[in-house]
Amino acid sequence: MSKKIGRGNSQTQATRRWAWLFLGPVVAAFTIGFVWPFIQGIYLSFCKFRITSDATFVGISNYQAALADPSFQHSFWYTAATAVVSLVLINVFAFAVAYALTQGIRGSNLYRTVFFMPNLIGGIVLGYIWSMIFDGILSHYDTSILLETKYGFWGLIILMCWQQIGYMMIIYIAGLQAVPEDMIEAAEIDGATKWQTLFRVIIPNVMPSITICTFLSLTNGFKLFDQNLALTGGLPYLIQPDGSTINTTEMLALNIYNTFYNSSTAARGTAQAKAVIFFVLVAGLGLAQLAYTRKREVQQ
Amino acid sequence: MAEVSLRHIKKVYPNTEKKRKKKGEPQHRTAHLQVTDEGVLAVPDFNLDIADREFVVFVGPSGCGKSTTLRMIAGLEEITDGELYIDGKLMNDVAPKDRDIAMVFQSYALYPHMTVRDNLAFPLKLRKFPKEEIDAKVNEAAETLGITEYLDRKPKALSGGQRQRVAIGRAIVREPKVLLMDEPLSNLDAKLRNQMRAEIIKLRQRINTTFVYVTHDQTEAMTLGDRIVIMKDGEVQQVGTPQEVFDHPSNLFVAGFIGVPQMNFFDAELVRDGDAYSVHVGDAIVVPSAEKQARLAAHDVASQSITLGIRPEHISLASGDAATLVGTVDVSEMMGSSVHVHLDSLGQDVIVIVPTTEIEGPYQDHFFAGAKVEYAFAGNVIHMFSKDEQGTNLEF
């Protein structure tokens, strides 16, 4: 790009002269809306503050507090487990549904729409609806989703699957439809069974879709907040020997939120430090995962 | 190595027209294909016996059912009715992988995520060949096709011609009984196509198998096939050697389809006088050869209006002869060894091929636009077709 602009003919010079006029608004919006708050956020993670204007620098003590917080450690592992289990289930089911719906069965368009629809409902609403459904069922067994960690865990997994499978399915359908019919027929003639065709020919050729979907579901899993808040709000909690509590179904985002707003204002710096750790974690995982699956993509 | 028999093969694509009618949507026009209550009749009744190691070419325009028929042999399309035998065994309900056939696709259909070596080895791996045997067979096929140096590349790093070789390699590596080819050269440029055509001829001499080849290109059909099956609207028009279909086309369609440039057609009168026939076209009278006369007489053909066909290469320039026709030059095309002269004669376009060896000086001096040209043809190269819808060759 820069090479082309550097050629110095009158048109590219004019482009250069006017470039900032057009780039300006976007750059300004991006700076004000993202870059500045991001930098401010990182700065605040090294501060003790109640409101942003009275922040005092305290070094890495917020990070020490954050990492030492048992509820943060618990929510990290809980989030990791949720993200991994949902990643696997969502992608396996989404692919299976997409595969079934691309086999020319009757009414596939209707099914596609139906499967996609949960994605149109907001997370909070979805969380409350499912909490009612789960409690409706669990009340027959004299229990509630708020009483057992495992109910909360699998409840959240079911909710995430229900919400995201349709979305991932659309991406997988697009990927599957791009696999040339001839290639599948060639495999059939070459002697591949349905399963061999699926695993040795189709799946390697839908790796771009798998990359996108696993990336999305992994980061979605780690960032999950509203559904977590609405479904269990982190309950049930566990009282620690020192009297502090751990919300057993609390994911990272909710843990940060609760640290920031529910505890004393003194912990806001800690919440900020947790948020930065959270960002590094999600970005790192996402990029690593992207790099890993990208390698397996093929070009036609 | 196997015989292939197609007995009363029929293919019907289930009808979607009825639903459309109900919904009041405009109906699809399926050009010339019959639409029955069952659906669209793509292939009504196909019969052919392909001998062991024969090279048969299905040729015809788009939508004539040639690929459908090939895909029925492959097992990629269900056979609606009729029987398909490969090596004497009924194959109608046998899965493609168990038919011992291989197929080369127009789009190559290589596996982009595998190297050339893995592409070639894939059918063998699936059949659980021992590793040493796979390696040996892959290397042998690669050598046959001259792709040894590309074995470790992925298909995307190959040119169209190289990809097609890999596709052929994948098909021959497991020595199938029948090798099916669906327009394998259509995606290549003209030069490469000629080269690959020659290679297929050579390949055919090296591997002992039965070939069924589909193309819309009559040159490919003529040069490759032991026998050509000419199809139109799902129906076989003629089956014969290239020479047979060229010299004795069974109807107007075959006459027009085989041969480049296309055969010239004239409205003419066939006159029978006892056992003697003559053809009156324009002011000229042409007497068919004795052989043709005998065939007409054998079929007891009466005097009638006919369509007279003469190939451009069978027309010669003449002057002063009684049985000549006159035309005005419209366009003349220099082809190198010959000139294609388009004449306006008897109210239609007539193409005459004039070898350059017969032309003195620049061809434009003779065949400029508006020049009057006299031409003639002998009685042994004329083709006489009935005026009915089929345009049947009256000698048949």
What pLDDT is attached to residue A54? 84
What pLDDT is attached to residue A238? 83
A182 contacts on B by Cβ (under 8 Å):
105-107, 109
Q: Indicate whether A173 and A26 sit together in one domain.
A: no
Q: Is B261 on the interface with A (CB under 8 A)?
A: no
Q: Indicate whether A39 and A77 sit together in one domain.
A: no
| Pairing of β B227-232 and β B55-59 | parallel
Fold of the CATH domain B4-251: Rossmann fold (3.40.50)
HSE-up (13 A, CA, CB side) for residue A185: 20
Between residues A32 and A266, the one the model is more confident about:
A32
Query: Distance between CA B9 and CA B46 in Å, rounded?
Result: 5
Task: Please check whether the domain covering B252-311+380-396 is classified as CATH 2.40.50.100.
Answer: yes
Q: Indicate whether A114 and A188 sit together in one domain.
A: yes
- CATH no. for residue A250? 1.10.3720.10
Q: Which of B103, B112, B126 sits opposite A196 (nearest CB)?
A: B126
Please count the other Cβ atoms lying within 10 Å of the Cβ belonging to residue B331: 13
Q: Is B94 on the interface with A (CB under 8 A)?
A: no
Q: How many contacts, defined by CB atoms under 8 Å, are there between A and B?
A: 66
Residue A256 inside a domain? The answer is yes
Q: Is A180 on the interface with B (CB under 8 A)?
A: yes
The mean of the pLDDT values for chain A is: 88
pLDDT in tens, A109-118: 888 888 888 8
pLDDT of B323 above 80? no
Distance from CA of A221 to the nearest CA of B (A): 30
Average pLDDT of span B327-346? 91
Is the ipTM beyond the 0.85 threshold? no
Q: Indicate whether A18 and A144 sit together in one domain.
A: no
Please tell me which of A100-104, B38-42, B83-87 the model is most confident about, judged by mean pLDDT.
B83-87
Sign for the CA dihedral angle at B110, B114, B118, B123 comes to negative
What pLDDT is attached to residue A27? 93
> Do residue B123 and residue A182 have CB atoms under 8 angstroms apart?
no
By CB neighbour count within 10 A (0-12 exposed, 13-18 middle, 19+ buried), where does A231 fall?
buried
Average pLDDT of span B286-298? 91
Tokens (6 digits) for B91:
């194959």
What pLDDT is attached to residue B358? 85
Residue A51 inside a domain? The answer is no
Q: Is A21 on the interface with B (CB under 8 A)?
A: no
Average pLDDT of span B123-128? 92
Average pLDDT of span A1-24? 69
Residue A300 inside a domain? The answer is no
Distance from CA of A211 to the nearest CA of B (A): 15
Residue A160 inside a domain? The answer is yes
Q: Indicate whether A40 and A147 sit together in one domain.
A: no
pLDDT of A4 above 90? no
First-last CA distance in chain B: 33
Query: Distance between CA A162 and CA A130 in Å, rounded?
Result: 10
What pLDDT is attached to residue A120? 87
Q: Indicate whether A124 and A218 sit together in one domain.
A: yes
What pLDDT is attached to residue A145? 86
Does B4-251 match B252-311+380-396 in CATH topology? no
Between residues B21 and A108, the one the model is more confident about:
A108
Q: Indicate whether A16 and A141 sit together in one domain.
A: no
Task: Please check whether the domain covering B316-376 is classified as CATH 2.40.50.140.
Answer: yes
Range of the domain at A8: 2-44
Tokens (6 digits) for B257:
């389809």
Q: Indicate whether A150 and A100 sit together in one domain.
A: yes
Interface of A with B in 181-200 (CB under 8 A): 182-183, 185-193, 196, 200
- Looking up tokens 């063998």 gives B124
Q: What is the CA radius of gyration of chain A?
A: 24
- From residue B367, alpha-carbon distances to B314, B332, B343, B373 in Å are 18, 6, 10, 8
Query: Distance between CA A255 and CA A234 in Å, rounded?
Result: 8
Percent of chain B with pLDDT strictly greater than 70:
94
Q: Indicate whether A106 and A38 sit together in one domain.
A: no
> Do residue B126 and residue A192 have CB atoms under 8 angstroms apart?
yes
Q: Is A204 on the interface with B (CB under 8 A)?
A: yes
What pLDDT is attached to residue B134? 94
Q: Where are the domains of chain B?
A: 4-251, 252-311+380-396, 316-376
What pLDDT is attached to residue A104? 82
Residue A50 inside a domain? The answer is no
Distance from CA of B16 to the nearest CA of A (A): 13
Tokens (6 digits) for B229:
């099956």
Q: How far is CA A117 from the centre of its chain?
A: 19
Helix or strand run (H / E) with residue B332: strand B325-334
pLDDT in tens, A140-189: 998 888 888 889 999 999 999 999 999 999 999 999 999 999 999 999 99
> Do residue A299 and residue B110 have CB atoms under 8 angstroms apart?
no
DSSP string across A192-259: --HHHHIIIIIHHHTHHHHHHHHHHHHHHHHH--HHHHHHTTTPSEEE-TTS-EEETT--HHHHHHHH
Residues in Cβ contact with A184 at an 8 Å cutoff, skipping those fewer than 6 apart: A197, A201, A202
Tokens (6 digits) for A4:
């082309």
Residue A56 inside a domain? The answer is no
Q: Indicate whether A37 and A103 sit together in one domain.
A: no
Task: Please check whether residue B227 is in contact with residue B56, taking contact to mean a CB–CB distance below 8 angstroms.
Answer: yes
Tokens (6 digits) for A73:
């450690």
Task: Please check whether residue A44 is in contact with residue A269, taking contact to mean a CB–CB distance below 8 angstroms.
Answer: yes
What pLDDT is attached to residue B324? 83
* Long-range pairs of A164-167 with CB within 8 A, sequence gap ≥ 24: A164/A86, A164/A90, A164/A94, A164/A119, A164/A216, A164/A217, A164/A220, A165/A90, A165/A93, A165/A94, A165/A97, A165/A115, A166/A94, A166/A115, A166/A116, A166/A117, A166/A118, A166/A119, A167/A94, A167/A116, A167/A119, A167/A216
What pLDDT is attached to residue B16? 61
pLDDT of A5 above 80? no
Domains of chain A: total: 2
